[in-house]
Amino acid sequence: MATKVGIIGATGYNGLELIKILLRHGDARLAYLATRSTQRPLISSVHPSLLGLCNDRAEHIDLDKIAERSDVVFLGVPHTAAMEYVPGLLERNVKVIDLSADYRLKNAKTYQKWYNHEHTDEGNLARAVYGLPEIFADEIREADLVANPGCYPTAVILGAYPLIAEGLVEAAFIADAKSGVTGAGKKLTAATHFPEANESVLPYKVGAHQHSPEMVDVLSQTTGKEVKVEFVPHLVPMDRGIEATMYFTPAGGSDAQDVAATFQKHYAEEPFVRLRGSSFARTRDVSFTNFCDIAWTATDAHVIVSTSIDNLIKGAAGQAVENMNIMFGHERTEGLL
């Protein structure tokens, strides 16, 4: 039976990608498309690419109605907004996949520090499962609240986790990431105005991006080591894509073949990780897909790993649907190939 899907935040970029994926999904159907706006625009007037594909008007947020019609609700709203809805949805026995940052950090104080906002639903933090299927598939299967990973953390954790977990590299590393402009969302800002973002590279939030604690938390918790990440993101003039180049210090005499064997061990069966060895690839090779591509080399001083994802797919909506597939027993790749 088709999973009935509600989306809160259907008018944002994540909303658009969720709708596009779910329209192609064989085992799910869109049941409730809600917006935080006071208006109720046609979905296809907000997202002109959906003309003829989605004829609905956006609905207001009414948790009773959403719960009645949906088996699962995706939250595509800004952080701090998601936790307004999560408790009510869980109480109504609807599963929730939250694409915001609100349930990614286990510690409410850390959340408050990085997001400048008190966490108002601390009680559900422990209940939330971090939705990175390559590591947490078993927990996701049982979850009723999934905290969908951030785009940068997805790229960084998938490249770092196996190497740190297996002790091939030291637990402190550098991640230099480059992101397309959709990563900054639909909100108009000076930095994302076309004439400002085009023809330019911009390092930002250097050593101070709110995704750093997410990487540290998840990697430390899963590897049992005290992980430290020096993370610097850069805005580059393209729509989509994240590339993260990571610099690790080898522990012991690990070389490129050890790295290869470790990635093989962890990811050989993973449907959305592609191992490229020393063939470093372009972000465009993962654009509009749910893949995370990984390439690596070993130099005299470092193990260098590059990961690429589409920030809106594997970094957001695609991974969210992947999580839904796991939670509802659908084929893991349904709607995503």
Q: Which residues are catalytic?
A: 151
Residue from 3, 124, 148, 283 binding a copy of itself (CB under 8 A): 283
- Cα torsion 167, 172, 178, 184 to 10°: value is 110
Closest CB to a copy of itself among residues 2, 202:
202
User: Which of these segments, 58-66, 99-107, 162-170, 278-286, binds a copy of itself (CB under 8 A)?
Assistant: 278-286
Binding to a copy of itself (CB under 8 A) within 191-220 occurs at 192-204, 206-208
Strands 202-203 and 242-248: unpaired
Binding to a copy of itself (CB under 8 A) within 42-81 occurs at 48-49, 51-53
Per residue in 196-220, is it b (16+ CB within 10 Å) or e — as a string? ebeeeeeeeeeeebbbbbbbbbbbb
Closest CB to a copy of itself among residues 85, 114:
114
User: Which of these segments, 64-72, 113-121, 141-149, 273-281, binds a copy of itself (CB under 8 A)?
Assistant: 273-281
Closest CB to a copy of itself among residues 128, 233:
233
Distance of CA 270 to CAs 105, 137, 142, 152, 196, Å? 25, 11, 19, 19, 39
Closest CB to a copy of itself among residues 57, 302:
302
Q: Which residue has the tokens 């012991």?
A: 252
Shortest CB 125 distance to a copy of itself, Å:
26
306/27 Cα distance (integer angstroms): 34
Binding to a copy of itself (CB under 8 A) within 224-243 occurs at 228, 230, 232, 234, 236-241, 243
Binding flag, residue 291, a copy of itself (CB under 8 A): yes
Closest CB to a copy of itself among residues 154, 306:
306
Q: How many CB atoms lie within 10 A of CB 299?
A: 10
Closest CB to a copy of itself among residues 232, 261:
232
Shortest CB 163 distance to a copy of itself, Å:
16
Shortest CB 242 distance to a copy of itself, Å:
8
Closest CB to a copy of itself among residues 120, 301:
301
Shortest CB 120 distance to a copy of itself, Å:
30
Strand ordering across the sheet containing 129-130: 28-34, 3-8, 72-75, 95-98, 145-147, 129-130
Binding to a copy of itself (CB under 8 A) within 293-332 occurs at 293, 295, 297, 299-302, 304, 306, 308
316/326 Cα distance (integer angstroms): 16
**In contact, 150 and 206? CB cutoff 8 Å:** no
Retrieve residue 56's tokens.
């609905």
Binding to a copy of itself (CB under 8 A) within 2-41 occurs at 13, 23-24
User: Which of these segments, 83-91, 155-163, 260-268, 285-293, binds a copy of itself (CB under 8 A)?
Assistant: 285-293
* 92: phi then psi, degrees, rounded to nearest 5: -90, 15
**Torsion region of 277: left, alpha or beta (phi above 0 gives left; psi -120 to 50 gives alpha):** left
Binding to a copy of itself (CB under 8 A) within 162-191 occurs at 172, 174, 176, 178, 180-182, 186, 188-190
The count of residues interacting with a copy of itself (CB under 8 A) is 74
Pick from 61, 104, 101: nearest CA to 185: 101
Residue from 35, 148, 287, 290 binding a copy of itself (CB under 8 A): 287
Strands 202-203 and 228-235: antiparallel
